[in-house]
A and B are shown apart, each in its own frame.
Chain A
Amino acid sequence: MIFDKPNTLELLDAVKHFLDTKIKDEVPPHLAFKLRIVENVLSIVIREIETGNDLSQEVISGLKKLVESETANIEELAHLIRDRKIDLENPELKNLLVQLSKNKIAVDNPRYSTYKKLIEST
């Protein structure tokens, strides 16, 4: 990268901090709800930059084993299920769908109740 510091994460963090400390108490009630959404969006972007690659690779490597293809991707898996070209009762498929869903929520909303429940039970 040719760009100077701060990096993307550091820039986003500064914006988030600004909203949290300077703006939050200033906005009227009907915008407070939207501000919270804005902060959540920033948090998603930050988590995706930090962990998105590893979380994706973990699922993709499981998928490659399952379908025995080095080029497999999520879209292809969806089509295999759509066209019934994969055994839908295969426990490995079910495990992969669980892993995929967990890894997506780990970026989108790691405080989600079902995710917390599943993490605590493992």
Chain B
Amino acid sequence: MKQELSGQLSDKLAKESITGEILNLEPLTGGASKEIWKFEIKSKDSISKFILRRGSGIEGPLAIKTSDEALIQKNVRELGACVPEIVAVSRVDEPLGDAYVMKFVEGESIARKILRDDEYRAALANLAFECGESIAKIHQADITDFSFLPKKTVMEQIDELYQTYVSFDQPSPVFEYTYHWLQGQDFGDLNDTLVHGDFRLGNIIVNSEGLQSIIDWELAHIGNPLQDLGWICGNSWRFGKINKVVGGFGDLEDLLRGYNSISEYQVTENNVKAWQVFGTFRWGVICLIQASAHLTGAVNSVEKAAIGRRVSETELDIVDLLFLGGK
């Protein structure tokens, strides 16, 4: 398989005038639904590192095509947003499949390492601010460039998530309550923007200097930009550091200070709670979707099976936010 992949990569990159011997092609631990490979290209006088990201062919219902992820990153990179440089895009009918190649970004994306290792300690102090700044730049992209992206209002998303949950026929009293609660909330009447959709610790690359890249664009869509701010504040992405609301490393105040330094619309802390509950519910339904791929027999995956038992984490976070004063 590796040899075949190497050949397909080589052919694809040659079309982009990137030639040389492909070395050290190795799979990396990635998301549950995409393959990620690291490799090097040795040319006459240098070795360059790259990442291949490729769809498995079985996408979740909320995910966009991998090649479309690449188009978005190319676009927002021109706005000065912190994303990797894309060097090749492969459409689903090409030999490489639905995929893209980007330049390797030095740094770490594994959340627990970023939160734990001394190397990143200094960078963490300013990371919430940098995240706010960067996502605000992304929200300034011209959405007429993204006609291929689904456009979703929050109420449409809530309904879509709820109907998805209902379709799995595993009735949850907490999710029923959450659906009712969400329908009564004010999510802010903001203009539509590009929404990353999965902006959180785990999908950012950090080094000792700070934020290097925002990656994993498969849940991108057009909608309310506050969604990205609520999502990064969900407890699901604090990796045990529950008192640091932003990704387990920062304070909401700093995230918003960074955001408001770029954005015309000034976001307040009050805007975020409903989006946190929404985000937690959304992650719960995504867990159900992932688990269903195993339960229906579409794939046999211990990862996907296990994620079914993470739904209860989101239920507990929601009752904590709604009834117990959780932040």
**Contact of A81 with B313 in the complex, beta carbons under 8 Å:** no
- Chain B residues with Cβ under 8 A from A84's Cβ? 180
Is B326's CB within 8 Å of the partner chain A?
Answer: yes
Is A112's CB within 8 Å of the partner chain B?
Answer: yes
Q: Considering residues B177, B241, B312, which has the most beta carbons from chain A within 10 angstroms of its beta carbon?
A: B312
**Contact of A98 with B319 in the complex, beta carbons under 8 Å:** yes
Provide the bound-state CA to CA distance between A104 and B318, in Å.
Answer: 14
**Contact of A113 with B235 in the complex, beta carbons under 8 Å:** yes
Beyond A30-B29, A97-B173, whether A114 also contacts B302 by CB under 8 A is: no
User: Nearest-CB distance from B88 to chain A (Å)?
Assistant: 23
Provide the bound-state CA to CA distance between A52 and B64, in Å.
Answer: 39
Q: Considering residues B180, B302, B316, which has the most beta carbons from chain A within 10 angstroms of its beta carbon?
A: B316
Is A34's CB within 8 Å of the partner chain B?
Answer: yes
Provide the bound-state CA to CA distance between A97 and B27, in Å.
Answer: 42
Is A5's CB within 8 Å of the partner chain B?
Answer: no
- Chain A residues with Cβ under 8 A from B176's Cβ? 78-79, 81-82
Is B315's CB within 8 Å of the partner chain A?
Answer: yes
**Contact of A109 with B319 in the complex, beta carbons under 8 Å:** no
Of all chain A residues, the one with the shortest Cβ separation from B307 is A37
User: Nearest-CB distance from A83 to chain B (Å)?
Assistant: 9
**Contact of B171 with A113 in the complex, beta carbons under 8 Å:** no
User: Nearest-CB distance from A43 to chain B (Å)?
Assistant: 10
Provide the bound-state CA to CA distance between A40 and B302, in Å.
Answer: 10
Of all chain A residues, the one with the shortest Cβ separation from B169 is A75
Is B58's CB within 8 Å of the partner chain A?
Answer: no
**Contact of A108 with B171 in the complex, beta carbons under 8 Å:** no
Question: Which label, helix, strand, loop or mixed, suits the secondary structure of the A interface?
Answer: helix
Is B41's CB within 8 Å of the partner chain A?
Answer: no
Is A6's CB within 8 Å of the partner chain B?
Answer: no
**Contact of A40 with B306 in the complex, beta carbons under 8 Å:** yes
Beyond A41-B306, A94-B323, A114-B242, whether A101 also contacts B312 by CB under 8 A is: yes
Chain A residues bordering chain B, tally (CB within 8 A):
36
Question: Which label, helix, strand, loop or mixed, suits the secondary structure of the B interface?
Answer: helix
Provide the bound-state CA to CA distance between A114 and B243, in Å.
Answer: 10
User: Nearest-CB distance from A104 to chain B (Å)?
Assistant: 4
**Contact of B28 with A30 in the complex, beta carbons under 8 Å:** yes
* Contact partner, B177, options A74, A97, A109, Cβ 8 Å: A97
**Contact of B171 with A109 in the complex, beta carbons under 8 Å:** no
User: Nearest-CB distance from B57 to chain A (Å)?
Assistant: 19
Which residues in chain B, 293-324, are within 8 Å of chain A measured between CB atoms? 302-303, 305-306, 309-310, 312-313, 315-320, 322-324
**Contact of A113 with B173 in the complex, beta carbons under 8 Å:** no
User: Nearest-CB distance from A67 to chain B (Å)?
Assistant: 11
- Chain B residues with Cβ under 8 A from A30's Cβ? 26-29
Q: Considering residues B28, B175, B320, B326, which has the most beta carbons from chain A within 10 angstroms of its beta carbon?
A: B320
Is B240's CB within 8 Å of the partner chain A?
Answer: yes
Is B174's CB within 8 Å of the partner chain A?
Answer: yes
Of all chain A residues, the one with the shortest Cβ separation from B240 is A113
**Contact of A97 with B242 in the complex, beta carbons under 8 Å:** no
- Chain A residues with Cβ under 8 A from B171's Cβ? 74-75, 78-79, 82
Of all chain A residues, the one with the shortest Cβ separation from B181 is A88
**Contact of B323 with A113 in the complex, beta carbons under 8 Å:** no
Which residues in chain A, 67-117, are within 8 Å of chain B measured between CB atoms? 74-75, 77-79, 81-82, 84, 88, 94, 96-98, 100-102, 104-105, 108-109, 111-115, 117
Which residues in chain B, 253-286, are within 8 Å of chain A measured between CB atoms? none
- Chain A residues with Cβ under 8 A from B53's Cβ? none
A-B contact pairs, 27 of them (CB 8 A): A30-B27, A30-B28, A30-B29, A37-B303, A37-B306, A74-B173, A77-B173, A88-B177, A88-B180, A94-B319, A97-B173, A97-B177, A97-B319, A98-B324, A100-B315, A101-B174, A101-B315, A104-B312, A105-B315, A105-B316, A108-B310, A109-B309, A109-B312, A112-B316, A114-B313, A117-B320, A118-B316
Q: Which residues of A contact B (CB under 8 A)?
A: 29-30, 33-34, 37-38, 40-41, 44, 74-75, 77-79, 81-82, 84, 88, 94, 96-98, 100-102, 104-105, 108-109, 111-115, 117-118
